[in-house]
């Protein structure tokens, strides 16, 4: 290889590297040891562009929309990574690092309370509930809901509805292992697979069966239940494989379908 070829090769690498950084703003930005909360609340003089997205927040209390103020996180000499500029609920995320910031981070910047039990001083009780939707779908992540680009998050404080008609459990049943040995690199053909089977809903300790139901060909299931704590396992005895079970206790809240995935052990080792 002559000198001209070497120089051309180096030049090509530099150009490709520059294009990668240009098209990937967070490329080359090392993640610090700071927590998400520390990154979210740090007030910087110059706005970072390593990670830049926008989410929209809507808050409704007893049918009345609450204005999310302009200039949350904006101060005279600096600005936090999570902030607003206008009173329309548009949250700007402009961070030096790509992080999964949450509603909790934003409300800390705002200086207002928010959890599954309280929103802006309004507390959930026997007659009122707090509900969160992301792009129209009810979620049970509350303050742990991640801010994602282009998504609309709506928080409502509203009268409780009849739990029997709106609460339940949904999820997917997966079967594995499907190959006799672990493979490195992993073989896609050996990945866990959706599983159609009959399951039972039980008390958290598994002692009492409350309902029998089935997953479909895609392993998907959905059942309506009242708020409470539950577990899911195979309808068949524990010594019959594949044996399926949920992990830990499943907590169902009023007005929400809780996601609980179920794993089925084939016994293959």
Domain co-membership, 148 together with 225? no
C-alpha closest to that of 84 among 69, 67, 65, 97: 69
Chain centre distance of CA 141: 7
User: Is residue 16 domain-resident?
Assistant: no
User: Is residue 205 domain-resident?
Assistant: yes
- Full residue range of the structural domain in which residue 55 is found: 36-160
Domain co-membership, 57 together with 147? yes
Domain co-membership, 60 together with 153? yes
Residue 136's domain is classified under what CATH number? 2.170.130.30
Of the residues 141, 160, 179, the one at which a domain ends:
160
Domain co-membership, 142 together with 219? no
Domain co-membership, 169 together with 258? yes
Structural tokens at position 259 = 């996601």
Structural tokens at position 39 = 């990154």
Provide the 10 A C-beta neighbour count for residue 213: 15
User: Is residue 123 domain-resident?
Assistant: yes
Structural tokens at position 212 = 């029998």
Domain co-membership, 150 together with 260? no
User: Which residues, 6+ apart, have CB-to-CB distance to 210 below 8 Å?
Assistant: 200, 201, 202, 203, 225, 230
Domain co-membership, 137 together with 172? no
Number of domains in the chain: 2
Q: Is the peptide bond before 119 cis (omega within 30 degrees of 0)?
A: no
Of the residues 112, 136, 160, the one at which a domain ends:
160
User: Is residue 238 domain-resident?
Assistant: yes
Domain co-membership, 43 together with 137? yes
* Per-residue confidence in pLDDT tens, the chain, 269 aa: 554 444 444 444 444 444 434 344 444 455 778 999 999 999 988 776 789 999 999 999 999 999 999 999 999 999 999 999 999 999 999 999 899 999 999 999 999 999 999 999 999 987 899 999 999 988 889 999 999 999 999 999 999 765 445 789 999 999 999 888 766 777 777 889 999 999 999 999 988 899 999 999 999 999 989 899 999 999 988 889 999 999 889 999 888 899 999 999 998 87
Q: Is the pTM for the entire model greater than 0.75?
A: no
């Amino acid at each position: 290889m002559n000198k001209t070829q070497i120089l051309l090769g180096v030049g090509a690498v530099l150009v490709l590297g520059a294009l990668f950084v240009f098209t990937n703003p967070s490329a080359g930005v090392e993640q610090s040891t700071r927590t998400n909360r520390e990154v979210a609340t740090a007030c910087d003089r110059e706005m970072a562009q390593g990670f830049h997205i926008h989410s929209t927040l809507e808050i409704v209390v007893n049918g009345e929309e609450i204005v999310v103020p302009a200039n949350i996180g904006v101060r005279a000499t600096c600005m936090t990574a999570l902030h607003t500029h206008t009173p329309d609920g548009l949250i700007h995320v402009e961070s030096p690092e790509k992080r999964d910031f949450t509603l909790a981070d934003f409300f800390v910047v705002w200086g207002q309370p928010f959890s599954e039990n309280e929103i802006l001083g309004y507390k959930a009780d026997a007659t009122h509930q707090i509900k969160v939707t992301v792009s129209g779908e009810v979620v049970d992540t509350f303050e742990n809901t991640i801010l994602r680009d282009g998504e609309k998050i709506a928080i409502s404080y509203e009268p409780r509805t009849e739990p029997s008609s709106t609460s339940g459990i949904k999820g997917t049943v997966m079967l594995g292992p499907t190959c006799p040995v672990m493979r490195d690199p992993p073989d896609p053909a050996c990945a866990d697979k959706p599983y159609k089977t009959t399951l039972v809903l039980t008390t958290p300790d598994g002692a009492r069966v409350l309902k029998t139901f089935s997953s479909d060909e895609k392993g998907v299931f959905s059942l309506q239940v009242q708020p409470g704590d539950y577990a899911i396992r195979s309808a068949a005895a524990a010594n019959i494989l594949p044996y399926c079970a949920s992990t830990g206790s499943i907590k169902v809240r009023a007005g929400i379908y809780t996601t609980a995935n179920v794993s089925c052990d084939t016994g293959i080792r």
